[in-house]
């Protein structure tokens, strides 16, 4: 059973934010490049307020990049071991630390189920991301396909 204290949860949350913020920001910044200032001006000309323009035009343009960032960070968090091992004094145990403990004790049979769980749960977002990319290429008629 996984046990955590409140200080352990705060510490691991802070460590994960620091560790994975750059990965997520890279994806979001790339998708924000699609939004040009002229879109804001055109929306204002059509009578939309800033919030309405955000919901109607900006969010649909950056939705793909945001979903990609969430999936990449989720997969990285599933397999993250170094930050969690550093926070072990806070009694923070994750699936990755349990697998590591079993593997370091050479109890490979016990580590197998946790390892497969990490792989399968990490594989689902990768498959979804792959389908999302191939679908967008079909819609856009990408010649690389």
- Tens-digit pLDDT profile for residues 45-93: 999 998 898 888 888 888 888 888 888 888 888 777 787 777 666 666 7
Q: Which of 22, 34, 23 is nearest to 64 (CA)?
A: 34
- Whether the CB-CB separation of 12 and 84 falls below 8 Å is answered with yes
116 pLDDT band, cuts 50/70/90, is very high
Above 70 in pLDDT, residue 96? Answer: yes
Specify the pLDDT at position 4. Answer: 53
What is the average pLDDT score of the chain? 82
The answer to the question of residue 1 being in a domain is: no
The answer to the question of residue 56 being in a domain is: yes
The answer to the question of residue 129 being in a domain is: yes
Above 70 in pLDDT, residue 3? Answer: no
Mean pLDDT of 97-126: 88
Range 74-78 contact pairs with CB under 8 angstroms and sequence separation of 24 or more: 74/122, 74/125, 75/122, 75/125, 75/126, 76/19, 76/20, 76/23, 77/16, 77/20, 78/118, 78/121, 78/122
Residue 24 belongs to domain spanning: 6-140
Specify the pLDDT at position 112. Answer: 92
The structural domain count of the chain equals: 1
- Tens-digit pLDDT profile for residues 27-40: 889 888 888 888 88
Specify the pLDDT at position 92. Answer: 67
The answer to the question of residue 52 being in a domain is: yes
Above 70 in pLDDT, residue 117? Answer: yes
The answer to the question of residue 84 being in a domain is: yes
Token look-up 């498959």 returns 127
Q: How many CA atoms lie within 13 A of 113 on its CB side?
A: 3
By CB atoms closer than 10 A (0-12, 13-18, 19+), residue 73 is buried
Above 70 in pLDDT, residue 141? Answer: no
Specify the pLDDT at position 73. Answer: 87
Specify the pLDDT at position 1. Answer: 43
The answer to the question of residue 145 being in a domain is: no
For residue 92, the SS3 value is: coil
Q: How far is CA 49 from the centre of its chain?
A: 31
């Amino acid at each position: 059973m996984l046990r955590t204290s409140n200080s352990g949860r705060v510490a691991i949350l802070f460590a994960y934010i620091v560790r994975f913020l750059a990965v997520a920001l890279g994806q979001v910044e790339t998708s924000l490049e699609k939004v040009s200032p002229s879109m804001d001006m055109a929306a204002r000309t059509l009578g939309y307020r800033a919030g309405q323009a955000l919901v109607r035009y900006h969010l649909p343009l950056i939705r793909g990049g945001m979903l990609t960032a969430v999936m990449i960070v989720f997969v990285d968090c599933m397999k993250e071991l170094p930050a969690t091992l550093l926070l072990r004094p806070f009694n923070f145990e994750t699936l990755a630390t349990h697998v590591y403990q079993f593997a370091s004790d050479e109890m490979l049979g016990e580590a197998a189920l946790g390892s497969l769980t990490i792989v399968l749960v990490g594989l689902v977002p990768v498959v979804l991301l792959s389908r999302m990319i191939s679908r967008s290429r079909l819609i856009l008629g990408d010649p690389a396909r």
